[in-house]
């Protein structure tokens, strides 16, 4: 009985963490290339509604996920065009992307409010899922949970074990140097921005197709912003982003459980916890300025104009 409950709590934590992890890994790659996209929340929302729409229209869960990635990437392309080609301010453009995405998703999702789709199916890993505690906790999840871990591993491998990853990191270090050596800075950054958008879209779709298989306006409830904070928390390292996402998932699930157990703490206070935790974590990480400076991509947020 105890084992069952613990297993369920761990499983729920992982599920709550998955959308955060997906969005954070995408943003991490974008930021590693030197671009700060604050539009994660907007891209997640558009991904969520696109995935839900395609799934509802009979495209299936898989079709929904693909649509979400495309929609997120399309939003990111808009951001990339403005910031990389027209050199607009990255902070302001990211904010605009979030506002636009919020409005667009609400508009597009008008007809879906109150409808539902089948929840993304679970895949029990043979044998492993039979293990008490560990099985239900780790090996009985939907494909995207496994996928998010694989993506994290792939991003880590790409960034730190391949020449392409080295080029991407170099791009975030100094666009001018990369340009002088002859790398297509804007093209590579654009690709990184698109990847970030696709992952944010996927994270959004996880919310609308797996976490709570329905569409509601603003259903991300700030998760896009939490994902941005996670990238800082992780000091731009993929595995630490995963750790951070699971900690936040844990906080979210813990407050839900406390509410469920009928403890007489007002639910609003408990709902504040993830947001307050984000602030605390940001303070802890950023107080060590040197460490942040050493890990943050040096060119983050700086516009690049290829002149000479």
Partner 1 sequence: MSHKKVPLLRLEPRAETARVMVYAAPLIAVVLTLIGGSVLFALMGFAPHVALYNFFIAPISDTYGLSELAVKATPLVLIAIGLSLGFRANVWNIGAEGQLTIGALFGGMVALALNDLTGWYILPLEIIAGVLAGMAWAAIPAFLRTRFNTNEILVSLMLTYIAQLLLNLLVHGVLRDPAALGFPQSKAFSDSTLLPTILDGTRVTSSTIITLLIVGIAWVVVAKSFVGFQIRVAGLAPAAARYAGFRQPRLVWMTLLAGGGLAGLAGIFEVAGPIGQLQPTISPGYGFTAIIVAFLGRLHPLGILLAGLLVALSYLGGEAVQINMGMPLAVTGVFQGMLLFFLLACDVLVSYRIRWRGTGQGAVTGARAAKG
Partner 2 sequence: MNLPPYRLALKGITKSFPGVLANDAVDLALQAGEIHALLGENGAGKSTLVKILYGVLQADAGEILWHGSPVEIGSPAAARKLGIAMVFQHFSLFETLTVAENVWLGIDKTEPLAVVAGKVRETSERYGLPLDPNRHVHELSVGERQRIEIVRCLLQNPELLVMDEPTSVLTPQEADRLFETLRRLAAEGMTILYISHKLDEIRALCGKATILRGGKRVAEAVPAEESSRSLARLMIGQDFAEAERKPDEGRIGAKRLTVGGLTIASTSPFGTPLDKVSFEIRGGEILGMAGVAGNGQAELISALIGEEKVPVGMLALDGTDIGDKGPAERRSLGLAVVPEERQGRSAVPELTLAENALLTGHQRFSLVRHGLVQAADAARRAGEIISRFAVKANGPQAEARGLSGGNLQKFIIGREIGQAPGVFVASAPTWGVDAGAAAAIHQAIIDLAATGAAVLIISQDLDELMVMSDRICAICAGRVSPAIDRAEATTERIGLMMGGSFTVAGEAA
Query: Binding marks (x or -) toward partner 1, 226..245, rule CB under 8 A?
Result: --xx--x-------------
d(CA 6, CA 11): 9
Q: What is the DSSP string of 90-140?
A: HHHHHHHHHHHHHHHHHHHTGGGTT-B-PPPPEEEPTTGGGSTTHHHHHSE
Q: Could you tell me the smallest distance in angstroms from the CB atom of residue 156 to partner 2?
A: 17
User: By the 8 A CB rule, do 223 and 41 touch?
Assistant: yes
- The phi, psi pair for 306, rounded to 5°, reads -75, 95
Which partner, partner 1, partner 2, none, binds residue 163 by CB below 5 to 8 Å per kind? partner 2
- 166 in contact with partner 2 (CB under 8 A): yes
Which partner, partner 2, partner 1, none, binds residue 56 by CB below 5 to 8 Å per kind? none
**225-243 in b/e burial notation, b at 16+ Cβ within 10 A?**
bbbbbbbbbbbbbbebbbb
- From 61-69, 180-188, 190-198, 264-272, span contacting partner 2 (CB under 8 A): 180-188
Q: Could you tell me the smallest distance in angstroms from the CB atom of residue 188 to partner 2?
A: 12
Q: Which two tokens stand for residue 78?
A: 């808009």
- From 68-76, 79-87, 128-136, 289-297, span contacting partner 2 (CB under 8 A): 289-297
d(CA 293, CA 308): 27
Burial of residue 194, with CB atoms counted within 10 A of its CB: 0-12 exposed, 13-18 middle, 19 or more buried = buried
- 106 in contact with partner 1 (CB under 8 A): yes
- Strand 140-142 relative to strand 122-124: parallel, antiparallel, unpaired? antiparallel
User: By the 8 A CB rule, do 20 and 203 touch?
Assistant: yes
- 127 in contact with partner 2 (CB under 8 A): no
Q: Which two tokens stand for residue 116?
A: 């539902």
Q: Which is nearer to partner 2, 176 or 217 (CB)?
A: 176
Q: Could you tell me the smallest distance in angstroms from the CB atom of residue 306 to partner 2?
A: 9
Which partner, partner 1, partner 2, none, binds residue 305 by CB below 5 to 8 Å per kind? partner 1
User: By the 8 A CB rule, do 168 and 9 touch?
Assistant: no
- 181 in contact with partner 2 (CB under 8 A): yes
Which residues 6+ apart lie within 8 Å of 215 measured at CB?
48, 49, 52, 109, 112, 113, 115, 208
- 92 in contact with partner 2 (CB under 8 A): no
**Residues of this chain, 262-281, that bind partner 1 according to CB under 8 A:** 266, 268-269, 271-272, 275-276, 278-279
Q: Can you tell me whether residue 299 is helix, strand or coil?
A: coil
- 101 in contact with partner 1 (CB under 8 A): yes
Interacting residues toward partner 2 by CB under 8 A: 163, 166-167, 169-170, 173-174, 177, 179-183, 290, 293-294, 298, 308
Interacting residues toward partner 1 by CB under 8 A: 38, 78, 82, 85-89, 91-93, 95-97, 99-104, 106-107, 110, 217, 221-222, 225, 228-229, 232, 266, 268-269, 271-272, 275-276, 278-279, 282-283, 286-287, 289, 292, 305, 307
């Amino acid at each position: 009985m105890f084992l069952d409950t613990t297993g369920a709590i761990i499983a729920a934590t992982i599920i709550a963490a998955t959308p955060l992890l997906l969005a954070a890994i995408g943003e991490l790659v974008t930021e590693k290339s030197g671009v700060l996209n604050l539009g994660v929340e907007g891209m997640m929302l558009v991904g969520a509604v696109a995935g839900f729409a395609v799934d509802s229209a009979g495209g299936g869960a898989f079709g929904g996920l693909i649509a979400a990635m495309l929609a997120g990437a399309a939003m990111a392309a808009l951001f990339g065009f403005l910031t990389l080609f027209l050199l607009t301010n990255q902070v302001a453009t990211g904010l605009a992307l979030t506002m636009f995405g919020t409005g667009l998703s609400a508009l597009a999702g008008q007809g879906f409010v109150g409808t539902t789709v089948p929840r993304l199916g679970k895949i029990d890993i043979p044998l492993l899922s039979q293990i008490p505690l560990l099985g239900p906790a780790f090996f009985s999840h939907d494909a995207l949970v496994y996928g998010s871990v694989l993506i994290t591993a792939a991003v880590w491998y790409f960034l730190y074990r391949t020449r392409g990853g080295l080029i991407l990191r170099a791009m975030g270090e100094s666009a001018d140097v990369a340009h002088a050596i002859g790398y297509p800075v804007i093209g590579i950054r654009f690709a990184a921005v698109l990847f970030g958008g696709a992952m944010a879209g996927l994270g959004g779709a996880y919310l609308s197709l797996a976490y709570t298989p329905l569409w509601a306006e603003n259903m991300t409830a700030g998760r896009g912003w939490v994902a941005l904070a996670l990238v800082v928390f992780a000091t731009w390292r993929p595995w630490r982003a995963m750790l951070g996402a699971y900690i936040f998932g844990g906080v979210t699930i813990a407050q839900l459980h406390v509410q469920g157990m009928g403890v007489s703490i007002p639910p609003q206070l408990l709902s504040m916890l993830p947001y307050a935790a984000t602030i605390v974590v940001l303070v802890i990480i950023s107080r060590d300025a040197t460490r942040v400076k050493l890990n943050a991509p040096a060119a983050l947020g700086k516009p690049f104009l290829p002149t000479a």
